[in-house]
Amino acid sequence: MNHSMAHDPFENHGNLPGRHRISKIWLNSFFLSTTIGIISLSILLFSIINQAFGYVIVENKVDPSTLSSVPLNDLQKEDLTRILKENVSKNRYKTINRDTPIADMTSNDLVQLITNEIIKPTTVKSYFLIPSLFQKEQIIKTQWEEFPDAKIQFRSWLNWNFIRNSLSTNPDATGIRTALLGSLWIIFITIIIAFPIGIGAAIYLEEYSSNNWFTRIIKTNIDNLAGVPSIVYGMLGLAVFVRSMNNITSGIIFGVNQTNGRTIISAALTMSLLIMPLLIINAHEAIRAVPASLRQASYGLGATHLQTIWHHVLPSAMPGILTGSILAISRAIGETAPLILVGASSFINKDPNGIFSNFTVLPIQIYNWTTRPQAEFRNVSAAAILVLLFALLTLNTFAILLRNRFAKNKVI
């Protein structure tokens, strides 16, 4: 230890109760700093749940009771078809029939269709969960005074229709299907691209590279790349994949009819570059943790370098590599800024159907909804955040389970 101990580091050592008091005060403040993190996390989750559920006041354009005397759900298919026919214009009916033949629809689909086409419910006011639970009387009073024709209902903004519907400008009818599919596509392609290259680079660094200046440059470079702000990767993606490689990433040279390079493949390539340093660092660590005796035993039995890596090093490092990869992937799922640069156009309600489709992803949708002025979009945003957090939580739980399993089986 090379501190100079010239002065007495524990001055006032006669005053023991005083020293213990100071120690106690600081212990409490250290504990407080730890709990502030946890309190913030609780407030964060609570505020999201608070906004994702609650009472809404809904105004119908057409009162359902004027359409039929019994509730729509109890009606037979023929009656529902008749109601639809009577209340929408002929052209509209034709369009609907052309998209999906009405004869093929179930009565549930028809009720849904009638609700969207004729009744057209609009949310005029929405409440958070806490006021909904504790100030119900007041909400009912407001409804009586301000919206006498409207109805009050308790709504979970996170519902099956929300997951299933595509994007819409109406907060009541909007959904995240397009964004969810976009996220899945991008993550899938990112894994395909980044996983082999990342692990390959880690194997190279640990098993093949000699300790020369070039290897040191690669290592320093990877560490620095891990600290580059994600938005800079977005700019790289915009300049290289979207613009310079426009012909390839838009699929024009493959005969795909696409106008620009703002496609899933561009986004996935950008994301791959973004998570690559993280992947390499984690995989490198996992491979380094494989005991040298395993390699020596393999060589001793006459295996080649490649055989040793493939049959012994990789399988034994795999749980560690997978844990690191899952963490890298969950980073990619939540990343927003680079995709804003690569994706830009925000209103896309067509499902992606290949790597050359335009896209939107869940975080970009959350960003768009959050920045809209209408209060209802905040509710929608909260519901989408719940979906995103659920996906991340599932992935992280999986990673932790994997890590624990790995720790148990580890032979030292």
Partner 1 sequence: MITLIKKMNIVQSKSIETSLKKKSRPAETIVHSLLFFCGVISVFTTIGIVFELGKEALLFFKMPEVTIFKFLTGSTWQPAIGEFGILPLLSSTLITTCIAMIIALPLGLGAAIYLSEYASPRARKILKPTLEVLAGVPTVVYGYFTLTVMTPFLRWTLGSENVQVYNMLSAGLVMGIMILPLVCSMSEDALHAVPRSLREAAFGLGATRFETAVKVVLPAALSGIIAAFIISISRAIGETMIVAIAAGSSADLTLNPLHAAETMTGYIARISGGDVAYDSPEYNSIFAIGLFLFLITLTLNLLSRKISSKYREVYE
Tokens of 134: 């504790």
In the complex, the smallest distance separating the C-beta of residue 293 from partner 1, rounded to whole angstroms, is 23
The reply to whether 221 sits near partner 1 by the rule CB under 8 A is: yes
Kindly determine how many residues on this chain lie close enough to bind partner 1 according to the rule CB under 8 A: 93
Cβ 160 to partner 1 shortest distance, Å: 23
In degrees, rounded to 5, the angle at the alpha carbon of residue 9 between the alpha carbons of residues 7 and 10 is 125
Among 165, 190, 230, 325, binds partner 1 (CB under 8 A): 230
Q: N- to C-terminal Cα distance for the chain?
A: 31
Residue 118 or 399 having the CB closest to partner 1:
399
**Where in 377-396 is the site for partner 1 (CB under 8 A)?**
378, 381-382, 385, 388-389, 392, 396
> Binding of partner 1 at residue 210 (CB under 8 A)?
no
**228 sits near partner 1 (criterion: CB under 8 A):** yes
Interacting span for partner 1 (CB under 8 A) from 24-32, 64-72, 115-123, 181-189: 24-32
CB 277 within 8 A of CB 225: yes
Q: Is 305 near partner 1 (CB under 8 A)?
A: yes
Q: How far is the CB of 38 from partner 1 (least distance, A)?
A: 5
Work out whether 47 is an interface residue with partner 1 (CB under 8 A): yes
Counting contacts by CB under 8 A, is residue 239 touching partner 1?
A: yes
> How far apart, in whole angstroms, are the C-alpha atoms of residue 67 and residue 9?
86
Nearer to partner 1, 119 or 273 (CB): 273
**310 contact partners, CB below 8 Å, separation of at least 6:** none
Query: Of the candidates 335, 48, 309, which has an alpha carbon nearest to the alpha carbon of residue 187?
Result: 335
Pick out residues in 337-356 that bind partner 1 (CB under 8 A).
337, 340-341, 344-346
Over the Cα atoms of the chain, what is R_g? 29
Distance (Å, whole) CA 332 – CA 337:
11
- Kind and range of the H or E run holding 151: strand 151-156
Residues 106-125 close enough to bind partner 1 by CB under 8 A: none
Among residues 163, 225, 318, 402, the one that binds partner 1 under rule CB under 8 A: 225
Q: 258-261 contacts: CB < 8 A, separation 24 or more?
A: 258/356, 258/357, 258/358, 260/358
Interactions with partner 1, residue window 243-272 (CB under 8 A): 243
The Cα–Cα gap between 147 and 153 comes to 13
335 binds partner 1 (CB under 8 A): yes
By CB under 8 A, tell whether 289 contacts partner 1.
no
Question: Angle, to 10 degrees, between the axis of helix 362-371 and the axis of helix 177-203?
Answer: 130
Residue 403 CA to residue 73 CA, distance in Å, equals 49
Closer CB to partner 1, 230 or 357, in the complex? 230
Q: Binders of partner 1 among 393-412, rule CB under 8 A?
A: 396, 400
